[in-house]
Structure 1
């Protein structure tokens, strides 16, 4: 079955806008995780696809503030939702599903409380992306280019918090099972860092 043209437009747009460009990989991985977690569930895949691909638009360079002080106060979620309401219908996305996309994006972060199946899928998948080898890569690539993480010593605590706090926030059983090897891998990686560098990590 051919995928709707609006999906191709979404992928093309995010492919062009993702900056730094390594951020592009998060979207297809995230959607793939929702498909795995959601197997056997009843949910609207159009909503999940749109939300998974669009949810981080507001963190891309060119979409977020350039000023460090403004960036520190930046909430990318309202910006992203506004852009979704603007762009998705233009590409042919069903207007009657826009609010469901907005709701999924609004509650996609670990501290949020999703109220729909689509939002829960997106949030659990996004948590999984912060664990394991992928979680480590996504955090470490920020060192030196993100003002919050000038050195490794600033980003390692982010990974420690992820492995300590995120697994218990996962809601769906399938996602919990997928998290187990990811948590083990991230713990082993952090233990290796401590073993090799001790207090000398910079």
Structure 2
């Protein structure tokens, strides 16, 4: 469900951030309450493990964004501007609209558009492309709105599952843990650009 998530995220503006935080707080809590996140599975797979590609993939698979933004948390979604505006963004991408290089999050959105174009409407191919290719642009600093929101989702999971005390040798805060996991997943890309994920003390 990365396709839904990506276009939820690009609609935030800096002036809206405080309002969005307040309006979307219940949505994040609902994600745990309605089991849109396979929390027990995440806790089990994180137990005594270190940050790795597999940890990122396990976390990614555990989150049902369709549930978060629709079937499980519909009312909370309706109260959250990020969720409501996602529908039009998805339509834009599926229609083949492309953002100019000067526009915010153009790397992420245009990558998603290419995924759709190359997939021949194969949902599995689209999801794989979004999760393993385009997701890098959510964390490389080119789309801070995406990184901020995804980090909030992880923080909710991290606190609810006490993940800081589950991961082997980790002593930091939840955003720092997420940063390590994201770096492990996209290490080749970050190293090639000489950068780190824009998460926690280095970003959001």
Tell me which structure has the larger Cα radius of gyration: 1
> Same-fold call, TM > 0.5?
no
Q: Taking structure 1 as the reference length, what is the TM-score of the superposition? A: 0.31
Higher relative contact order, chain-length normalized (CA < 8 Å, sep 6+) = 2
